[in-house]
Amino acid sequence: MNKLKKELKSSFKGIRTGILEDNRLAVSAPKDAVLPILSFLKNKGYEHLSLISCVDWIEEKELELVYVITSYLQKNDEYADNERLHILLKTRISRENPEFKTLVPIFKNAEPYERELHELFGINFEGNKRLTPLLLERAYKIPPFRKDFNTREYVKEKFDKISFVEEKKNERA
Amino acid sequence: MRELELYFGPQHLGMVGNFSITLKVEGDQILEAHANPGWLHRGFEKLMEYRTWIQNFPLVCRINVIEPDSMEMVYAMAVEKLAKIEVPERANYIRAIVLELSRLASHLFGCWAYANMLGFDTVAQWAMYHRDLILDLFEQLTGARVYHIYICPGGVRRDLPEGFKEKALNTLHTIGGCIPDYDATFFNNRLFYERAKGIGKITREEAKELGVTGQILRATGINFDIRKVEPYAVYDKVDFEIPTREDGDAYSRVWIIRDEMIQSVHTIMQCLEKIPEGEVYKRVPNPFKWNIPKGETYVRVESSRGELGLYMVSNGKDKPYRVHFRTPSYPHGLLVLEKLLKNASIADVGNIMISLYVTAPEIDR
C-alpha cells in the first residue's frame, strides 16, 4: 500500500495523502486531477466504484466530493493482503458555483450517484446526460441536503399554513 | 406495431414494494425501461444530522425493512471506528448469530416473493412460515419481531436469554430438515428451470462495470464476499463457503440464495457452539453528552443483497455531520434492472426484478 501511495504522489502533482488506517487511504486532490487519478486507479485494478458522496462544509463555503474506490478482489487472489484498500478520493468545489465533470465515461455506475447529488446538493455534473429528478417530488429553492436547508423550519413554513380539516369546517359554518 | 408507454408499479400486482418502472413496449417486447424510485424517500440521511449518535438507531433499521440488522451493524461499526471502541468477544459472536439469522429470514422472504411470482404458492407459504419461526427467535432475543434495535455501539443490548440456544437449534433443524422438500417441489422443478433459465442474463464484465455486488455478482462466477475479504464480527473464526455459479441468469441467482441459506444455518450452529462466556456490552459515555472525535470513515458489510457501506463524517460534536449509505439495491435496482429489461418480454418483468432481489426502501432511503 505504501507502494501505491508513492506511485500516486510521483504521478500526480498537488495531492495530499492521509495516514493509512485499517486499509483506508484518504487522498485529497485538486479538481482537475480527480478524473486522471480515477482512471489511473481503475487500470491498477481498483475497478469497483462503491460510492460517490458529498459533504457540505458550509463554514468554508465549499462542497467536498468523495469517491470511494475499492477492488473486486477475491479470497486467495493474487493481491497481497496489504493491498486490500479502500481509497477515499476527495476534492473540493465551490459552493456558489458547484460544477464538476462527470465520471460516467470511466465508471458507468456513477450515473445514479451523480443524479442524486445533482438533486440533493445542486451540483451540476458536466457531461452527464441524465440529470433528471431521482428521488424528490418537487424542486426546492435550496437543495435539501445542504446544511443551510433546515428541515424543521421548512416543515413549519410549509405545513403550518395548511389548516386542519375541522378548522375549515368551522370556517364554513 | 405501435409503441406504448406502460406503467409498472407502484400500484401493480406484480410489483414488490414501493417502486415503479416505466416501460416503453412494442407488442409484448420491452424497448426501454426507466426505473423510477422515490416513492419511499424519507430523507433519513438528513434527519440523522439532527439527532444524536444513539437517537439514530430507530431510523437506521428502517432503511431496509426486510433485513434491518445489517443496517444496525454497519452503523454501529462506523460509530465504533470513529470513537475507537473495542467490542467484547461474546458480543461479536451474538452479532454474527443475529446477522446470519436475519440473512436467513431475508432469503426466506426472497424465496416467498420469487415462488409466489412464479405461482408456486405452496413453497411460498412454507418460506413465509419458516421466516416466522426466525421472527419468533428474534422476539425472544430482542423483544421485537421486525425492527430489533439490538446491535448498538459497544456490543449488543442484552445477553442471550435462557433456553435461546436450544430453541435456535431446534428452529434451524426444522428449517434444514425441510430443504429436501423445497428442492423436490421448487428448486429441482422443471417449471422453475424452464421459467428462469437464461432470463435476465448478465455477464461478468457487465456486472463489474455496473458496480454489482452480492448474489448477482456471485452468479457470474466471481467469488466476492465482504465476509471473506474484510472479515467483521467473527466471520474469520467460523468456517463457511461462498456459493457461486457461472451463468449469471435468474436461475443461478435463485440457486445461490438457496445455497447461502444452508451456509447460514451452518454458520449459526458453529457460532452457538463456539460462543465464549463474558460480557456483551462495553459501556459507552453518557449518550446525551457523547461527542465523537473529528474524523471520517467508510465501513462495509455483506448484507443479504450485497455490499452495504456507510460513509460517515464527524466534526467532533454530539451528532453526525454527514451520513451516506451505500446500499446494494442502489446499482441493482436502477442500472442493472434497466439494462436487463431491455428487449425482455413483459411477462418477465417480475421474474427479472425479483431475481435481482431489489428492495425499494434501500434505494430511496
A1 compared with B139, residue with greater pLDDT:
B139
Examine the pLDDT at A151 and tell me if it is beyond 70.
Answer: yes
Distance CA B302, CA B298 (A): 14
Alpha-carbon distance B346 to nearest alpha carbon in chain A (angstroms): 24
C-alpha cell at B296: 471520517
Q: What is the largest CA-CA distance in chain A?
A: 80
Give one word for B159, left, alpha or beta, with left for phi > 0 and alpha for psi -120 to 50: beta
Sequence-separated contacts (24+) of B291-297 with Cβ below 8 Å? B291/B316, B291/B317, B291/B318, B292/B53, B292/B79, B292/B82, B292/B83, B292/B316, B292/B318, B293/B82, B293/B83, B295/B82, B296/A26, B296/A88, B297/A24, B297/B78, B297/B81, B297/B82
Name which of B66, B63, B57 is nearest B43 in CA terms: B63
Q: Residue B100 has what pLDDT?
A: 92
Instruction: Answer yes or no: do B41 and A135 touch at CB < 8 A.
Output: yes
Q: Which residue of B has its CA nearest to A51?
A: B326
Per-residue DSSP letter, B38: -
Residue A22 lies inside a defined structural domain of this protein:
yes
H helices of chain B, where?
44-48, 57-60, 68-83, 89-118, 121-142, 164-177, 179-182, 190-196, 204-209, 215-218, 226-229, 250-274, 329-331, 337-341, 349-356, 360-364
Q: Chain A partners of B312 at a C-beta cutoff of 8 Å?
A: none
Nearest CB to B335: which of A48, A66, A111? A111
Domain B44-301 has CATH 1.10.645.10: yes
Q: Chain A partners of B321 at a C-beta cutoff of 8 Å?
A: 55
Distance CA A28, CA A34 (A): 9
Confidence of residue A170 (pLDDT cuts 50, 70, 90): low
Give how far Cα B353 sits from Cα of B196, B298, B331, Å: 12, 29, 13
Q: Residue A79 has what pLDDT?
A: 53
* Structure ipTM: 0.84
Size of interface A-B (CB pairs under 8 A): 90
B282 compared with A164, residue with greater pLDDT:
B282
**Angle at CA of residue B131, ends B360 and B309, nearest 5°:** 40
Examine the pLDDT at A81 and tell me if it is beyond 60.
Answer: no
CB-CB contact of B198 with B251 (8 Å): yes
Alpha-carbon distance A169 to nearest alpha carbon in chain B (angstroms): 31
Alpha-carbon distance A168 to nearest alpha carbon in chain B (angstroms): 29
Q: Chain B partners of A75 at a C-beta cutoff of 8 Å?
A: 223, 225, 228-229, 242
Per-residue model confidence as pLDDT tens for chain B (365 residues): 788 888 887 877 767 778 888 889 988 889 888 888 888 888 888 888 888 888 888 888 888 888 888 889 999 988 888 888 888 888 999 999 999 999 999 999 988 988 888 888 899 999 999 999 999 999 988 888 888 888 888 888 888 888 888 999 999 999 988 889 989 988 898 888 988 888 888 888 888 888 888 888 889 888 888 888 888 888 888 888 888 888 888 899 989 998 998 999 989 999 988 888 888 888 877 877 888 888 888 888 988 888 899 999 988 888 889 999 999 888 888 888 888 888 888 888 888 888 888 888 888 88
Phi, psi dihedral angles at B34 (to 5 degrees) = -125, 115
Residue A166 lies inside a defined structural domain of this protein:
no
C-alpha cell at B273: 457452539
Q: What is the mean pLDDT of chain A?
A: 80
Q: Residue A74 has what pLDDT?
A: 62
Phi, psi dihedral angles at B118 (to 5 degrees) = -80, -5
CB-CB contact of B268 with B235 (8 Å): no
Which of B322, B336, B365 to substitute to test the interface with A, most A CBs within 10 Å? B322
Instruction: Answer yes or no: do B297 and A24 touch at CB < 8 A.
Output: yes
Q: Residue B316 has what pLDDT?
A: 84
Distance CA B365, CA B363 (A): 6
Residue A77 lies inside a defined structural domain of this protein:
yes
Per-residue exposure over A81-100, b if at least 16 CB sit within 10 Å of its own CB, e if not? eebebbbbbbbbbebeebeb
Radius of gyration of chain B (CA): 21
Residue A19 lies inside a defined structural domain of this protein:
yes
Collect all residues from B whose CB is shorter than 8 A from any CB in A.
37-38, 41, 43, 45-47, 50, 81, 208-211, 213, 217, 222-225, 228-230, 242, 296-298, 300, 307, 309, 311, 313, 321-322, 324, 326, 330-331, 334-335, 364
Q: Chain B partners of A74 at a C-beta cutoff of 8 Å?
A: 222-224, 228-229
CB-CB contact of B261 with B110 (8 Å): no
A173 compared with A33, residue with greater pLDDT:
A33
Q: Which residue of A has its CA nearest to B331?
A: A109
Residue A157 lies inside a defined structural domain of this protein:
no
Q: Chain A partners of B41 at a C-beta cutoff of 8 Å?
A: 135-136
Q: Chain A partners of B364 at a C-beta cutoff of 8 Å?
A: 135
Q: Residue A167 has what pLDDT?
A: 62
B243 compared with A25, residue with greater pLDDT:
B243
Give the total number of structural domains in chain A: 1
Distance CA B242, CA A132 (A): 38
Alpha-carbon distance A32 to nearest alpha carbon in chain B (angstroms): 23
Confidence of residue A78 (pLDDT cuts 50, 70, 90): low
- Each domain of chain B, given as residue ranges in start order, spans 44-301
Examine the pLDDT at A8 and tell me if it is beyond 80.
Answer: no
Which of B21, B205, B244, B298 to substitute to test the interface with A, most A CBs within 10 Å? B298
Q: Chain A partners of B47 at a C-beta cutoff of 8 Å?
A: 151
In this predicted structure, which of A112-126, A151-165, B136-150, B295-309 has the lowest mean pLDDT?
A: A151-165
Q: Chain B partners of A72 at a C-beta cutoff of 8 Å?
A: 208, 217, 222, 224
Phi, psi dihedral angles at B248 (to 5 degrees) = 75, 20
Question: Which residue in the block uniquely carries the three cell numbers 493482503?
Answer: A81
Q: Residue A14 has what pLDDT?
A: 72
H helices of A44-164, where?
110-121, 151-159
Q: What CATH number is associated with residue A68?
A: 3.30.460.80
CB-CB contact of A116 with B331 (8 Å): no
Q: Residue B135 has what pLDDT?
A: 92
Distance CA A172, CA B71 (A): 49
Examine the pLDDT at A76 and tell me if it is beyond 60.
Answer: no
Distance CA B28, CA B48 (A): 44
Radius of gyration of chain A (CA): 21
Per-residue DSSP letter, A76: T
Domain that holds residue A100: 2-137
Confidence of residue A96 (pLDDT cuts 50, 70, 90): confident
The CA-based dihedral angle spanning residues A101, A104, A107, A110, taken in that order and rounded to the nearest 10 degrees: 90
Distance CA A147, CA B310 (A): 19
Q: Residue A75 has what pLDDT?
A: 56
H helices of A56-131, where?
110-121
Helices (H) and strands (E) in chain A, counts: 5, 7
Q: Residue A171 has what pLDDT?
A: 64
Distance CA A154, CA B193 (A): 53
Residue A147 lies inside a defined structural domain of this protein:
no
